[in-house]
A and B are shown apart, each in its own frame.
Chain A
Amino acid sequence: MKALTACSALFGRDLRAVLRSRSQLYSSVLTPLLILVFLGNGVSEGLSPARLSGGSFTAYLVAGAVVMTAVFSSTFSSASYYRDRDSGILRMFLSSPHSPRVILLGKSLAGILIGLVQAVVVLAVAAPFVQFDWQYGVPSGLAVAVATILLLNVMLAGLAQALASRISTMQGFHLVMNLALFPLLFFSGAFFPVDNLPTWLEILARVNPLSYAVDALQLAAYARSGHGFFGLGLDFAVLGTLAVAVYLLGLAKLPRLTWSGR
């Protein structure tokens, strides 16, 4: 019970910190929206992508923009470990009668919620301007989208924690996160369909966890049928398994909790 109270206190504190950091809040949502507006319209109008089922590249891009939001958000949220460590407040947390894992849990849950809300905001802001198909109906499609974003954020929070356990500086952490996640975004189906790619790229797409998040989001809001997609069953099996496994791995690997190590 006391651990739960501590978790919720840290959760609330990190939420407040993000809400106060307007630049972080706005940039995490605006960047994917700007990509939707400029890249989406530019490619739709300039290149006429005939192979897309709806012909609208902007609608196609929404799933990728949502995944990108989750990636940005998890990176920013996890960087708060470094801020807390370097400002010294992490030492205060660790002098409280709770295990370091309780502290990490409270902080990471806040990061997951923030990532979820930001990604849903991107979806909500895009909805009035983009023709979604919602092949399972709006409520079910939304439920699929929210569940997908949630699992994706849990997985990314675990990945960020695991990386933070190995990397001692925030600059290094950002560099590695970008290096690891941006290539994954490129061949996840976020920017172009993966079903007609050269074999080597298709193989990379199939082993890429982000592909399954993009796939589920496109099935929920964009696709008119399941043809050419992995399918929700496989998407949730992969995302669910990875979310649990990577998050537990992240909790098992405590980040460097103090700069000096004392």
Chain B
Amino acid sequence: MTGVSTSSALGAGAHAAIPAHAVAVQGLTHLYQDRKALDDFTLDVPEGSVFGLLGPNGSGKSSFITLLAAMSAPASGTVRVFGQPAAVALRALTGVVFQENTADPLMSVGETLHLAGRLFGLGGDSLRDRSRDVLIAFGLADRVHDPVATLSGGMRRRLEVARAILHNPRLLLLDEPTTGVDPDERRALWEALLGRQRHGRTVLLATNDLAEADAVCDHVAFLQAGRVVATGTPRDLKSALRRESVRVQWASPSPAQLAAIRAWPGTGELSLDGGDLHVTVDDAAAFVPRLFSLAPGTIRSVSIRQSSLEDAYFQHVSRRAPTAPVA
């Protein structure tokens, strides 16, 4: 992900002066097979931003993308894309990369782009030129005649993204675009997407990869059970946390020991993940010696790091999950 931070800077700079919203959603409820996939969902996505939607599986990320692409209708609430109600005609302004591969394995790379271009109203020279540009940008120019079936997983994902931006959409909806993609391919994809092919477009990224979101997004929203539970810039969300995160490998802390740790001054969020205890603290240098005196001989290791977006995520999302919180 070394190339991502450069791209992130591109993304962050591009939207700073533009206060308009690419997406404005108010009180959205969406049903999926009798279950509320989205429940009183409210969110604004600044135009020109790279906006991350982060949440566990089933939190409503894909449902939200489907609604923005006007591929399904909400049970209630309003969805506005560039100030207009989401509708079939607005899809011309939107490009979508779905979680699953959606390229026909029997078609060639060139045919895939040609078909997508025709569906989005491109033709003739403009289609040829745009196809050539995105093929070069995404490193697929030498595979133009090859069937999609012969591409690697990473190349297929690059083709999906290239196809989604072929018609220069103002809003790009990415549903876990880098799932199953190795780090090199991931880097190539983001460099192409947020580099010269960016064109100031708004990117909405649904992902489970918190490190990726931290690197490329300038705004994020945490989702849980179909609701937005926190939103802001990664920096704001991280700065709201305690300064440091301590991971303790500790086989069996007792409830009394955990309660004691929670009561110490400067201790923030506490969560247990298997045999690991995660604690956010103001001052790890003071916390760790105290911890060893509380449980001498039972702690296997301790690691300390600066708080990350992952810590912010678990602060907002885990504490609502039924199995994660410490009593």
Contact = CB atoms under 8 A, between A and B. Distances in A.
Partners in one complex: yes
Given A13-B107, A89-B104, A262-B72, A97 B121 contact: yes
B118 A5 contact: yes
Nearest to B90: A97
Interface in B119-169: 119-121, 123, 163
A121 interface: no
B66 to A, nearest CB: 5
B224 interface: no
B21 to A, nearest CB: 21
B299 interface: no
Contacts of A95: 69, 71, 91, 94, 96, 98
B312 to A, nearest CB: 28
Interface string A152-193: 000000000000000000000000000000000000000000
A92 B167 CA distance: 14
Interface of A is mostly: helix
A91 B120 contact: no
Nearest to B120: A96
Contacts of B33: 261
Contacts of B118: 5-6, 8-9
A99 B114 CA distance: 20
A88 B98 contact: yes
Interface string A94-136: 1111110000000000000000000000000000000000000
Contacts of A8: 118
Interface in B19-69: 32-33, 37, 62-63, 66, 69
Contact of A89 (B62, B89, B94, B102): B102
A230 interface: no
B123 A5 contact: yes
Given A13-B107, A262-B32, A88 B121 contact: no
A56 to B, nearest CB: 42
A17 B88 CA distance: 27
A20 interface: yes
Contacts of A10: 115, 119
A96 B88 CA distance: 8
B209 interface: no
A227 interface: no
A165 to B, nearest CB: 17
A2 B121 contact: yes
A87 to B, nearest CB: 6
Contact of B89 (A13, A92, A93, A97): A97
Contact of A88 (B89, B100, B106, B119): B100
Contacts of A91: 71, 98, 100, 102
B298 to A, nearest CB: 47
A17 B111 CA distance: 11
B103 interface: yes
A93 B94 CA distance: 13
Contacts of A97: 88-92, 120-121
A215 to B, nearest CB: 39
B91 A96 contact: yes
Given A2-B121, A97-B120, A92 B62 contact: no
Nearest to B101: A88
Contacts of B100: 88, 91
A95 B120 CA distance: 10
B116 interface: yes
Given A87-B101, A87-B102, A97-B120, 12 more contacts: A5-B123, A8-B118, A9-B119, A20-B106, A88-B98, A88-B101, A91-B100, A92-B103, A95-B98, A96-B120, A97-B121, A262-B62
Closest 5 CB pairs of A and B: A9-B118, A88-B102, A96-B119, A97-B91, A92-B102
9 contacts: A5-B123, A9-B118, A87-B102, A92-B102, A93-B119, A95-B91, A97-B92, A262-B32, A262-B66
